Amino acid sequence: MGWLVLLLLLWGQRKELLLGLSGWLAATDVPGTTAPRQALFVLAGGPIERGYYAARLYQAGVSRRIICTGELEPQEAVLDCRAAAEAALTRKAILHRGVPENSVAKLPVGTSTQEEVKAILAYCQQHHLTRIGLVSSRFHTRRIRLVAERSAWLMGIDLAIYGAPSIQYDPELWWKTENGLLFVFSEYVKLAYYLYKY
Q: What is the predicted pLDDT for the residue at 23?
A: 85
Cα separations in angstroms, 6 against 14, 19, 130, 171: 12, 19, 50, 27
Cα separations in angstroms, 136 against 8, 9, 118, 120: 37, 35, 15, 14
Average pLDDT, the chain: 87
Give residue 8's identity as a one-letter amino acid code: L
pTM score, two decimals? Answer: 0.87
Radius of gyration of the chain (CA): 18
The full set of domains in the chain, from first to last, is 27-166 (3.40.50.620)
SS3 31: coil
Cβ atoms of residues 56 and 165 within 8 Å: no
pLDDT average, residue stretch 172-181: 88
Q: Distance from first CA to last CA of the chain, Å, rounded? A: 42
18-50 pLDDT, tens digit each: 888 888 999 999 998 888 999 999 999 999 999
pLDDT of 10 > 50? The answer is no
Q: What is the predicted pLDDT for the residue at 152?
A: 95
71-110 pLDDT, tens digit each: 865 455 545 555 568 899 999 999 999 999 999 999 999 9
Cα separations in angstroms, 33 against 62, 63, 152: 10, 13, 19
Closest CA to 148 of 175, 174, 119: 119
